[in-house]
Structure formats: structure tokens, C-alpha cells
Amino acid sequence: MPPLLFPLPTTSILTFSAILVDPSSSHTTALADATAARTKLFLALKAEGSALAVVDAVQGYLPTLRGIIECLDSDELLLKGDPTFPWRSPLTHYTSTAPLLPLPSIHSEYLFVVLTYILALSNYAHSILASLPTFDQGSRSSITTEDEKKTTAGLARAVDLLCQAAGIAQWAAENVMPLVEPVRVAAGGRAGKNKWPVEAGSEAFRGLAEDVRTLLADAHVTAIRKLLLPVLSHTLFAPPGPPLPTNHPSASLLAKLYLHISTLYTSARATFKLPSRQLLKSSDKAAEPDNVEGEVIAPFKRYLRKESQLAEALAHKWLGVDAGENSKGSRIGEAVAWTRDAQTRLSEMEDGAVREKMKALGLGKGNERKKEERKARKGRVERELEDVQAWVRVYTRMNDTVSFQPIPAVASLNVPSGRPIFTAKAFVPPPPKLGTTRTSDPSDDSYAGQGNYY
């Protein structure tokens, strides 16, 4: 269930007084503070614990880092030689353990700190959603008012966090990546002995950032959960299929939202299909397309693939429900076409997921295998498949006994445009703590988005 729990970057200790010269000796305290703030971030990442602790550490370090960059640009501070900034890439696949990369330029440091901010906000949203009450069919007789209020608040907060992360990603793509790209080109696409990390390359970073595709898609999926919360009791305890309750969100709206989500995930997925993938021949059995060194990690690619497929299947389901429920019987053939197509797509997804799980189990034939296969089928896709199968049965029976309409090919049907319901939240970076544009009042360190994640 979106959002994906991302791995976070890691780094090592770095002392700014060891790599910077302060000709005027006016920034000694600031450099010590910067080292302390960066060390706090290092420890938060090393602990692999609270995403909120990482967000807090980034927030404390970012104003000072921006000040150091401004002082370097104005020659208030100077570099000692050609220092590198150690970061371990979270989203790039390497054949062995991901190395600690010696990245040149303070702007590479800037990019990885902002990337950490983006991923940590997304992970914080994930932790909020994971802490919400769970509702399963047959698990309880009713949903309490308290649980509903907690779930509503948690879903709303998670959407807000994802929109914040999306806004930061969009800002970074426009303001930080142009500073890093010349560094990557000058380094020949390498960081020491290893390939340049994929998330620090212009095209791949935009897969996460430009149009804020992945994060904004995750936010929309979460928003749909909030939209459907008032009818959760019906979903859990009523038989799947028609009729929809009177307070159910519009089928047309849900279809357009899922079409938009599918477009976002598909677009992000296409961005990560780098040239090396295109060189692989279909007959090359030795190549593992999900694990090519220097490309994005396999779990992220699988996530984008699954979510784009699921969103498209659900869009087709709701297009079918809209045709069947809101046409007074005039589009039953179309309803059958859409829901059958959704059923086919979901069946293919379910079968693929089960095959992977059963392959890992390595069980033989017989009752034991059947038992484990039923267990492997329990999940999000299966629940959606059960629901759409009910709609297919109802519309097929209606068409065979009442409507007698031809069933059109899905390719011949009109697909509406997707509909977004919100955009990324604009990010205003924190003012630098040193340099010519530093804040004059030390207590005035607030900036857009600060504290909104609490």
C-alpha cells in the first residue's frame, strides 16, 4: 500500500573546519554548529529508526548548509583542495553492497541532504498510515467513531506530508539539480571507482521530482482511502458488487482519479527505463532487468510497475461501474467490457504475485501447496479482484437477460482524462544562517513547511 517505505541515504562524519578556510575568522562558531548539525543527521540516519528524527535533523542542518554554500559563492569561505562528501545511495543498485561514494562539490552534499528530506517525509507518512487502526472483513462488528476520527486525521496528515515532499522534490529538480549536473558531467559520470548514483542524475531525479510523479501519485492513492472512509463499513460487511451506498463517492470521480494516478506512476516508471535496459535482448536469459548495476533498485521499479498496473485496472473498474449504474441501462454492454478488462488485469497481477510467493516457498504438489497458495492470494489485489468479479457477474447477467447489447472492445471505448485533486505544496527553503542574506534575528529561523510534519 502506498507510499513505499524508502531506504534512506547514509553518510559518515565530516568536519567543516577540516575542509574549509575562513579567511576572516568570523565563521568559526558557525562552522562548528554546521559540523554538529551534520553529525546529528549522520546519527539519525545511522540509527535507522524514526523518520521524524531524520526530518528534524535535516531541518536543523539545511539552513547552515545553505549559508556555507552562499559563503563559498561570495568567497567568505574557501575550500581546502578538492574535498569530497561521503554518501551512500539509497536508490541505486550496485552489484555488491552499496558503497560510500566520494561525491565532489558541496552541491552534491546539498542534493543528498534534500533527497534525504524528501524520502524521510514520505517514510513519515508511511509510518503514520501503518499506525492507523486496521479494518478487516469479519474482524469486528462495527467501526468505532474514535477509530474513524483517528483514521481520517491520519490519512489527511499523510496526504499533507506527501504533498510537502512533492513540493520539495519539485523545488530541488528546478534549483539544486542544475548545480549538480555540471559536477556529474565533469566527473565523467563516476563517483570514485563507482557509477554516479542514479538519483543524482538529472533524468532519474526528475522521475522522482519533476511533476512530482511518484510522491503525488502516492498522495492521491492515500486521498482515495480518505474519500472511501465513510463507506468503509459497507465495503467490509456488505457483499461485493452492487448496489453502491447512497453516500459512496462518484464512480466517475474515482475512475478519473485512478487514471491520473496511473499516468503519474507510468510516467515515473518510464523515466527510470535507462538506455542500458534498451540494450538487453529478450533472448538474453542471463540478464536480470530488475538488477542492472547503476540503475534504480529493483524494489522501487517493482513498486512503480505494480501501482501503475493496479491504478489502471481500478480506473477501468470504476469506468464500468459508472457506465452500469449511471446510464439507466443504456450502457450495460460498455459496463461489461470495462469490468471484464479490469478483472483480466487484476487476475494477471494476482497470478504473478502468487507465482513469486510460491516459487520462494518451494513447496510440492498436494494439500500443503493448495493451503499455502490460498494464503499467498490474500492481499490488496485479491480483494479488488473479488469485488470486480461481482460487478462482472451482475452486468453480464443483466446484459444476457435484459439489455442484449453488444460488448465493445475496450480499445474502442472513450477514456476520459485523469483528474488531479491537489498539487504539490510550494516549498520555500530556509534562509541561510550565515552569509550576506543570513537571518538577522537568530530566533527567526522559521520557513515554509517547518513544523507542519508534526
Strands 190-191 and 10-11: unpaired
**Residue 311 lies in domain:** 250-273+297-423
Per the structure, the count of domains in the chain is 1
The answer to whether residue 204 scores a pLDDT higher than 80 is no
Is residue 387 one of the residues assigned to a domain?
A: yes
Cα-based torsion angle of the residue sequence 100, 104, 109, 111 in order, rounded to the nearest 10 degrees: -100
Is residue 327 one of the residues assigned to a domain?
A: yes
Read off the CATH number of the domain in which 404 is found: 1.25.40.280
- Three cell numbers, residue 10: 547514509
pLDDT for residue 452: 53
> What value does the mean pLDDT of the chain take?
85
- For the stretch 59-71, pLDDT in tens is 999 999 999 999 9
CA distance 39 to 155: 33
pLDDT for residue 145: 87
- For the stretch 161-177, pLDDT in tens is 999 999 999 899 889 98
CA distance 296 to 292: 8
Is residue 19 one of the residues assigned to a domain?
A: no
- For the stretch 206-249, pLDDT in tens is 555 544 689 999 999 999 999 999 998 888 888 888 889 999 99
Is residue 257 one of the residues assigned to a domain?
A: yes
Is residue 144 one of the residues assigned to a domain?
A: no
* Average pLDDT score over residue span 172-190: 89
The answer to whether residue 33 scores a pLDDT higher than 90 is yes
Helices (H), 229-379: 232-237, 251-271, 275-278, 298-325, 332-361, 367-376
CA 87 to chain centre: 21
- For the stretch 409-427, pLDDT in tens is 999 999 999 999 989 999 9
The answer to whether residue 93 scores a pLDDT higher than 80 is yes
CA distance 416 to 348: 24
* Average pLDDT score over residue span 283-291: 42
pTM, full prediction: 0.87
Q: What proportion of the chain, given as a percentage, has pLDDT over 70?
A: 81
Is residue 445 one of the residues assigned to a domain?
A: no
Give the number of residues written for the chain: 454
pLDDT for residue 203: 60
CA distance 420 to 196: 34
Is residue 407 one of the residues assigned to a domain?
A: yes
The answer to whether residue 254 scores a pLDDT higher than 50 is yes
Is residue 409 one of the residues assigned to a domain?
A: yes
